[in-house]
Structure formats: C-alpha cells, structure tokens
Structure 1
Amino acid sequence: MMSLLVVGAIVISIVLGYRTKINIGLFAIAFAYLLGCFGLGLSPREVIASWPLNIFFIIFSVCLFYSFAIVNGTLEKLAEHLMYRCRNFPHLLPFAIFFAAVVISALGAGYYTVLAFMAPLTLLLCARTGLNLIIGAMAVNYGALAGANFVSSQSGIIFRSLMTQAGLSDSQAFINSAGIFASTLIVPVVVLGGLILFNRRRGVAMATLDHVERPLPLNREQKMTLWLTLLMMATVLLPPIASLVAPNNAAIALLNSKVDIGLIASVFSVIALLLKLGDERKAIASLPWGTIIMICGVGMLISIAIKAGTIDMLGAWIGTSIPPVLIAVAFGVVAACMSLFASTLGVVTPALFPLVPSIAASLGIDPMVIFIAIVVGAQATSISPFSSGGSLILGSCPGDEERAGLLPKLLFRAAPLGFVAALLFNLLLTFVL
C-alpha cells in the first residue's frame, strides 16, 4: 500500500508541477515529509537527511564555476564563432548547430542554458536559410543534450552521482557515463545525417549563410575563462583515465582517490574570482536553482520510495515479467514515455537508475547497457512540447503564430522520430554488447 502511495506521490508531483508551473521538487519535498513521517514513521531529521547533499554540492560548485563563462559572454561568443566557420557549408548547417551546441554544453553551460541562448539563434537561422524547423530544433536539442552528458559537464556529473548512490564504484560510474556520452553523440549524427540526405533527395533548397557576420574576437576575460575551463576539465578527466590505463599504479590510484569534481570546481571558482573573470553576485544568481531544487527534491521522494520498498518491488516486477534480452529496451521505452512530460535529470534518471544494479546483477546484464538505454530513451522524447526541451524551444519562437505551428511538429513528428531512432539504437545495443 505504501509503495502505491509513493508512486502516486511522484506522479502527482509531476502533474501538479506542470499544471501549476510550480517547481516539481517542492511538491516532492512536501510528499517526502508527509509519507516519510506519517506513513513510514520516520523522524523529521531522517527525512531531512534524505536530501541528496552530495548531488547538491556537485551541481552547485560545478555550475558556479561554469557560470563565469556564461556571465562574461565566453560561451555565447564561442557559439557565434562556430556558426561563422560553417557559413560556406549551408547543407551542413544542422551539423554546425549540433556540434556548436555540443561544444558549448560540454564546456559546462548545461542543457537548459544552451537551449536558452541557442534555440532563438537556431530558429532565426531556419527562417533565413530555409532549413526545416524540425531538423533545426532536433539539432540544437540533441546537441545541448549530448554535450551536457559529457563526463565533466552538468548531466554527466549527475548521472555519475546517481550511479555511485546506486552502489557502483567511481570507476564503473565514469565508464558508464562515458558510454552514455558516446551513445548520445552517435544517435543524433545518424538521425541528422538521414534527415539531411532525405531533404536533399527531395530537392529542398537552402539559401546561403553569407549574412552571418564575422564575430568579434574573444576579449582577455573570455580567453582566460576558456583556458581555465579546459584546464579544469583536464584536471578532472586525466586522473580517472590514467587509473583505467594503469590500474596497478599506486601513485595514480592515490591521486585519483583525491579527485572530486565538486571540490576542484570550487577551487577553480576562487581562481576565476581572483582573476576577475566575472561578478560573484551575477555568477551565483545565474545558477540553475530551479533545476537543483527539482533534482534534490525528487531525490528526497525517491529516497522515501527506497525505504518503502517501492524500488525493490518495481525491480522485481521488471525482472520477472520481461525477457532478459528486452530489459534494456523496456527501460528505454519507459524512460521515453516518462520524458514526454517530465525532466530526464529531475525525474526519469533518479527514478530508474536505482533499479539498474540489482536487475543487471540478477540477470547477468551489463549495467552500462541499461543506463545507456534509459538516457537515450529519455532524451529522445525530451523535445516534446510538454517536456523541458520542447517548451524552451517553443518559448524561443518570435510570435504566437510561429509557436502554434511548431507545437504539433514537435509533438507528432520530432518526438516520434526521436523515439523510433532511440528504440532501434537500444535494440542494436542490446544484441551487440
């Protein structure tokens, strides 16, 4: 009975969040308190302790460092330069948009930030060049997602934290996160390539990009920010990679054990402030507080679900009702359906990732396959107008008429196309790995 109440609370939190436009995480915190204290008999202190402090600190510290690149215009200027470099290849514009979004997002801007400033630019380019709106929207959405999945960027960090909380080691989480990034990079390239070839065979013409003006060079603060960002990424990535290459080296193992991306980002934030690369108040104000509250609030409710046995019950049902060969595909389908209306980071992965280790161990499946299937499935339908990505793209439309025309295209063409591509990829992944 309690498990059903917890599942109902998660669903109601999502529904109320989207109907009232109030952060889903706030509803989740309220339900965690009511169900935890009055349903499971937990003390208020135990409910408060379910706040995922590790995830909160990592997101806060990493986003604080990357916010300097947002505040001083480094990421926006970099996007303009990447677009300008591709002006002589109009038919490759979707790939230019995609890879620009990947690079900017991987450098730490994160999914929502990239969409916020690149979606309007993409829709403007579609209007001026004749690029299909669906292709443009999918390119920028796919790119922002894939880049954010990089192991040292926002989504990749969250995935790794969720995996370690589910019981995986740091090295296993790192490898799985790298697999997720590679997969979400491959799927869009194949999909966009197919759409470009299809449109070219139909004879759809595009105008030139001669109107794209040469952007101004990066100033001192922007250059220093870019170099500091690359240095931080190297500091975070090199020790775990070296540990994988030389697992028996004691010095490398010691160094890797001391690496924590949250603490490293905090050090680099201090360096950025000392170098005067941005205003501290603006940097803190630009943090994705809404996303942080949503992820941590839902994390509290998921913690209550674990204590109530909901996760174990759901895992047992999946393990006994679905053939082992289709487990990963089933997870991908469930994630895709959830992502039509909910956030991948705030709802889908916190709910599904805890199920993976036990199911993978009992059925002899590589957990990385299931983790990849979940993220690929969830991000395939994130372009739905009822999900975070699609709503941001719709919000970038210049007028109500354009918005009304784009909504059905996102819902009935882009989301189903992404779902089919994800389903085929997950089937292939299941039988190859």
Structure 2
Amino acid sequence: MMSLLVVAAIVVAVALGYKTKINIGLFAIAFSYLIGCFGMGLSPSEVIGMWPLKIFFIIFSVCLFYSFATVNGTLEKLAEHLIYRCRSMPQLLPFAVFFTATAISAMGAGYYTVLAFMAPITLLLCERTGMSLIVGGMAANYGALSGANFVSSQSGIIFRGLMVNAGVSENDAFLYAAGIFVSTLVIPLLVIGALVFLTGHGKAMKASVYVVSEPEPLNREQRMTLWLTLAMMVIVLAAPVTQLIFPANATVSFINSKMDIGLVASLFSVIALLLKLGDERKAIASVPWSTLIMICGVGMLISVAIKAGTIGLLASWMGNSIPTIMVPIVFGVVAAFMSLFSSTLGVVTPALFPMVLPIASALGLEPMVLFIAIVVGAQATSISPFSSGGSLILGSCSTEQSRSSLFAQLLFRAAPVGFVAALIFNLFLTFVY
C-alpha cells in the first residue's frame, strides 16, 4: 500500500509541476515530508537526511566553475570561431554545428546554455545555406546533449552521482558514464549522416559559401578561462583513467582516492576568482539552481520510495513480467515517454537508475546496457516542441511563420526519427551484450 502511495506521489509531483510550471522538486520535497513522517513514521531528521548532499555539492561546485566561461563570453566566442572555420564546407555544416555544440557543452556549459546560444546561430545558418531546419535543429540539440553527457560535464556528473547512490562503484560509474557519452555521440552522428547524405538534404544546400566575418580573437580573460577549463578536465579525467590502466598501483590508487570533481572544481573556482576571470555574483547567479532543486527534491522522494520498498517491488515486477531481451527496450520506451513531460536529469534518471542493479542482477544483464538504454531513450524525445530542447529551438525562430512550420517538423519528423533511432540502438545493444 505504501509503495503504491509513493509511486502515486511521484506521478502527481510530475503532473503538478508540468501543469503549474512550479519546480517538480518542491512538490517532491513536500510529498517526502508527508509520506515519510506521517505515513512511514520516519523522523524529520531522517527525511532531511535523504537530501542527496553529495550530488548537490558536486553539481553546485562544477557548475559554479564552468559558469565563469559563460559569464565572460568564452564559450560563445569559441562557438563563433569553430563555426567560422567550417564556413567553406556547406554540406559539412550540420556536423560542424553538432561538434561545436558537443565541444562547448562538454566544456561545462550544460545543455540549456549551449542550446540557448547555438539555436539562433544554427537557424541563421539554415536560412543562409539551405540547410534543413530539421537537420540543423537536431545537430544543435543532440550535440548539446552529447557534450553535456561527457563524464566531467554537467549531465555526466549527475549520472555518475546517481549511479553511485544506486550502489555502483566509483570506477564502474565512470565506465558506465563514458558508455552513455559514447552512445549519445554515435547515434546523432549516424542519424545526421543519414539525413544529409541519403535523403537529399545535403544536395539541397546552396552551393554558395556561407558569408560570415571573422570573429574577434579571444581576450585575456577568455584565453585564461579556456586553458583553466581544459586543465581541470585533464586533471579530473587523468586519475580514474590511470586507475583503470594500472589498477594495482598503490600510488595511482592513493591519488585517485583523493580526487573529487566537486572539490577540484571548488579549487579552480577560487583560482578563477583570484585571476579575475569573471564576476563572482554573476557566476553564482548562473548556477542552475532550479535544476539542483529538482534533482535533489526528486532524489529525496526516491529515497523515501527505496525505504518503503517501492523500487525493489517495481524491479521485481519488471524482472518477472518482461522477457529478458526486451528489458533494455522497455526501459528506453518508458524513459522516452517520461521525458516528454519531465526532465531527464531531474525525474527520469533519478526514478529509473535505482532499478538497474536489482534487475541486472536478477536477469544476468550488463548494468551499463540498462543505464545507456534509459538515457538514450529519455534524450531521444528531447527535441519535441513540448520539451525544453524543442521549445528553445522554436523560441529562436525569427518569424511566426517559420515557428509554425518548425513546430510540425519537430513534432512529426524530428522526434519520431530520434525515438526510432534510440529503439534500434537499444535493440542492437541488447544483442551485442
């Protein structure tokens, strides 16, 4: 009975957030208190202790450091330079947009930030070169998603934190997050490649070169921010990668045990402030507080669900009711459907990741396959006009006529293409593993 109540609370929290536009995390905190204290007899301290403090600290610290690159214009200037370098190859522009969005997002800007300044640039490119709006929109959207999934970027860090909370070791979480990144990098490239070279989208582009003036060079603050960002990425990635290569080396193990991306990012934030690379107040204001509240609030409610045995019951039901070969596909479909109405980071992954290890253990599946299936499915429908990604692209249209045209294309062409590609990929993973 209590398990059904918690499931209903999760559904109601998502529905209320979607309907009222109030942060889902706030509803989740309220339900955690009511169900935990009055339904399950937990103390207020126990419910408060379910707040995922480590995930909160890591996301806050990393986003604070990366916000300097956003505040001082480093990422936007870098995007302009990367697009400019590809101005003479019209047919490769979709890939230029994709890799530009991926690179900028991987450097910590995050999905929404990258899409917010890449969408207008991409739609302008579509207008001037004849590039399809569908191809351009998918390139910008899925590039921003893929880069954010990088192991040291915003989404990748969240995935790793959720995996560790679900019982995955730090090293395995790093490997699984890397698998998610590679998967979400490969799928869009295959889809964009097929659209450009097999459907005539590439031939439709104008032969004339896209005329654009050369961007201004990076200033002192932007150059230093870029080098500092690259240095942090190298430091954060070097320790776990070296540990994987030399698992028995005591020195490597010691160094890796002392590395924490949240603490490293905090150190680099202090360095950035001392070097005067950005305004402290603007940097703090740029931290995605609403995302933090949503992820941690839903995390509290999921912890209540785990305490009530809900996750175990759902995992057991899925393990007994669905054929083993279909489990990754079902996970992908469920994640895609949930993503139409809620956040991948704030709702879908916190709700589904805790089920992975019990199901994988019971059915003899590789956990990485299920983690990948969830994220691939959830992000497949992110370009729908009802989702945040699709709405950002629509908001970048210059006229109401183009917005109306793009709405139908995103809903009836781009989103279904992404969903089918995700299904095929998850089916492929199932047979490979």
- Residue in 1 aligned with 2:109? 109
Conservation of the 8 A alpha-carbon contact between 1:112 and 1:389: yes
Structure 2 unmatched runs, 5+: none
- Residue in 2 aligned with 1:415? 415
Conservation of the 8 A alpha-carbon contact between 1:87 and 1:208: no
Q: Are residue 364 (structure 1) and residue 364 (structure 2) matched?
A: yes
TM-score by length of 1: 0.98
CA distance in 1, matches of 2:119, 2:63: 20
Q: How does 1:9-408 map to 2 (within 5 A)?
A: 9-200=9-200, 203-206=203-206, 208-408=208-408
Conservation of the 8 A alpha-carbon contact between 2:377 and 2:422: yes
Change (3 A) 1:205 1:115: closer
AA aligned to 1:387 is S
Conservation of the 8 A alpha-carbon contact between 1:312 and 1:355: yes
CA distance in 1, matches of 2:286, 2:388: 18
How far does the alpha carbon of each residue in 1:42-79 deviate from its partner, in whole angstroms, 9 at most, with x for none?
11111111111111000000000000000000000000
AA aligned to 2:245 is V
CA distance in 2, matches of 1:203, 1:150: 32
CA distance in 2, matches of 1:202, 1:224: 38
CA distance in 2, matches of 1:141, 1:173: 25
Conservation of the 8 A alpha-carbon contact between 1:342 and 1:388: no
| Secondary structure of residue in 2 paired with 1:409 | helix
CA distance in 2, matches of 1:208, 1:348: 44
CA distance in 1, matches of 2:373, 2:288: 26
| 1:207 CA displacement | 5.2
| 1:348 CA displacement | 0.6
CA distance in 1, matches of 2:401, 2:41: 53
Conservation of the 8 A alpha-carbon contact between 1:162 and 1:353: yes
CA distance in 1, matches of 2:215, 2:294: 37
CA distance in 1, matches of 2:403, 2:25: 28
Conservation of the 8 A alpha-carbon contact between 1:128 and 1:207: no
AA aligned to 1:238 is A
| Secondary structure of residue in 1 paired with 2:204 | coil
CA distance in 2, matches of 1:412, 1:11: 26
CA distance in 2, matches of 1:18, 1:393: 19
Structure 1 unmatched runs, 5+: none
| Secondary structure of residue in 2 paired with 1:214 | coil
Conservation of the 8 A alpha-carbon contact between 2:131 and 2:201: no
| Secondary structure of residue in 1 paired with 2:341 | coil
Change (3 A) 1:231 1:334: same
Conservation of the 8 A alpha-carbon contact between 2:129 and 2:210: no
How far does the alpha carbon of each residue in 1:242-280 deviate from its partner, in whole angstroms, 9 at most, with x for none?
010010000000000000000000000000000000010
| 1:80 CA displacement | 0.2
| Secondary structure of residue in 1 paired with 2:200 | helix
Conservation of the 8 A alpha-carbon contact between 2:126 and 2:132: yes
CA distance in 2, matches of 1:345, 1:202: 34
Change (3 A) 1:209 1:28: farther
CA distance in 1, matches of 2:82, 2:200: 23
Conservation of the 8 A alpha-carbon contact between 1:340 and 1:386: yes
CA distance in 2, matches of 1:335, 1:168: 20
CA distance in 2, matches of 1:332, 1:117: 29
AA aligned to 2:37 is C
| Secondary structure of residue in 2 paired with 1:340 | helix
AA aligned to 1:347 is V
CA distance in 2, matches of 1:113, 1:314: 35
TM-score by length of 2: 0.98
Change (3 A) 1:201 1:70: closer
Cα RMSD of the aligned pairs, angstroms, is: 1.3
Change (3 A) 1:309 1:83: same
| 1:17 CA displacement | 1.4
How far does the alpha carbon of each residue in 1:110-163 deviate from its partner, in whole angstroms, 9 at most, with x for none?
111101111121112212222111111111110000000100000000000000
Conservation of the 8 A alpha-carbon contact between 1:187 and 1:425: yes
AA aligned to 1:4 is L
Between 119-128 and 415-424, the greater mean CA deviation after superposition: 119-128
CA distance in 2, matches of 1:388, 1:105: 16
